[in-house]
Amino acid sequence: MELWYTEKQTESYGITAKIKETYVSEQTDFQKLDMIETEEFGTMLVLDGMVMTTDKDEFVYHEMVAHPALFTHPNPESVLVVGGGDGGVIREVLKHPSVKKAVLVEIDGKVIEYSKQYLPNIAGGLDDARVEVIVNDGFMHIHDHKNTYDVIMVDSTEPVGPAVNLFTRGFYQGIYEALKEDGIFVAQTDNPWFKADLIESVNRDVKEVFPIVRVYWANVPTYPSGLWTFTMGSKKHDPLAVDESAIPELDTKYYSPRLHKAAFALPKFVENLVK
């Protein structure tokens, strides 16, 4: 008998993958967590029925959350990742030698536990000496840490369940206050095919808080539509002003110095959403 996992991405559209094995299927204190082995994408972390990351395409998302912001900031030493319990963004942050401390605040400790067990290539950096892992509410952590971080990255699920508060103007204001005077923040902001209204509202809210706001995109096959956006808010530094020739080549599979500015060139229908 064949077993298939299907994510219903809208009421009338979804993606499906053939399952080889189910490792974990558990209701945590915060969400339904599944860790499955698929034939096409390898190990897959699913939260509340939504694909969070997979062995095959995880590098795209994690690299694009981390590197555009870290190469925009001239000297990122203190970095906060909200969510991201799988450890992928932390792994990419640690590729920057200027980073002295990387803090991960994940509300669901089970995500960290099972990612270390079943996604070691993604979660391996969580045990690095520069990393502090905190199991707590990222919203409250930001509220309690004013003027602390050079860069804050929000690696959240879609705005459902425990992530609802991470898509509000109040949260962005809190991030602004938790950043140092030239700080930068970045968040994943879903896809323009099915969530255009979300991209519009986030862009509007972030523009009310940060003087420099840029949207960029990447191709993530297992995310709804494959076209995924990220929103960057900056107090001083513009990612489009970065000298690409000064960006070093890192051990990456998707991000490159040549892609840094190219990712901010939006398809026209996306550009129209954020004007």
Q: Are residues 135 and 152 in the same domain?
A: yes
Average pLDDT of the chain?
A: 94
Residue 157 scores a pLDDT above 90: no
Q: What pLDDT is stored for residue 164 in this prediction?
A: 54
Residue set of the binding site: 31, 62, 86, 106, 137-138, 155-158, 162
129 shares its domain with 195: yes
User: Do 224 and 172 share a structural domain?
Assistant: yes
Question: Residue 53, exposed/middle/buried by CB under 10 A (0-12, 13-18, 19+)?
Answer: buried
Domain match, 83 and 163 both? yes
- The pLDDT of residue 212 is 98
Coil, helix or strand for 22?
A: strand
Which CATH number do you get for residue 265?
3.40.50.150
Measure the CA–CA gap between 13 and 225, rounded to whole angstroms.
10
pLDDT band at 1 (very low <50, low <70, confident <90, very high): confident
Residue 95: give the domain boundaries: 58-273
Q: What is the pLDDT of residue 50?
A: 93
Instruction: Tell whether 35 and 106 lie within a shared domain.
Output: no
- Count how many domains the chain has: 2
- The pLDDT tens digits of the residues spanning 94-148 come to 999 999 999 999 999 999 999 999 999 999 999 999 999 999 999 899 999 999 9
**Strand 131-135 to 50-54 pairing:** unpaired
Residues 6+ apart with CB under 8 A from 182: 73, 74, 150, 235, 236, 237
Q: Which residues are annotated as a binding site for S-methyl-5'-thioadenosine?
A: 31, 106, 137-138, 162
Q: Looking at the predicted structure, is the pLDDT value of residue 163 above 70?
A: no
Task: Verify that 230 and 208 share a domain, yes or no.
Answer: yes
Q: For residue range 187-238, list pLDDT tens digits in order.
A: 999 999 999 999 999 999 999 999 999 999 999 999 999 999 999 999 999 9
User: What pLDDT was estimated at residue 159?
Assistant: 52
21/123 same-domain check = no
From the candidates 155, 190, 205, 251, give the one annotated as an active-site residue.
155
> Is 155 assigned a catalytic role?
yes
The closest alpha carbon to 48, from 60, 34, 69, belongs to 34
pLDDT exceeds cutoff 70 at 160: no
Tell me: do 108 and 151 sit in the same domain.
Answer: yes
Residue 49 dihedral angles phi and psi, to the nearest 5°: 80, 10
Distance in angstroms (rounded) separating the CA atoms of residues 191 and 226: 8
Do residues 39 and 106 both lie within one domain? no
Q: Do 161 and 138 belong together in one domain?
A: yes
Q: Are residues 88 and 222 in the same domain?
A: yes
pLDDT-based confidence at residue 169 (cuts at 50, 70, 90)? confident
Q: Are residues 65 and 48 in the same domain?
A: no
Annotated binding site for spermidine: 62, 86, 155-158
Q: Report pLDDT digits (tens) over 60-93.
A: 999 999 999 999 999 999 999 999 999 999 999 9
Q: Does pTM top 0.85 for this prediction?
A: yes
> What CATH code is carried by the domain that includes residue 10?
2.30.140.10
pLDDT value at residue 226: 95
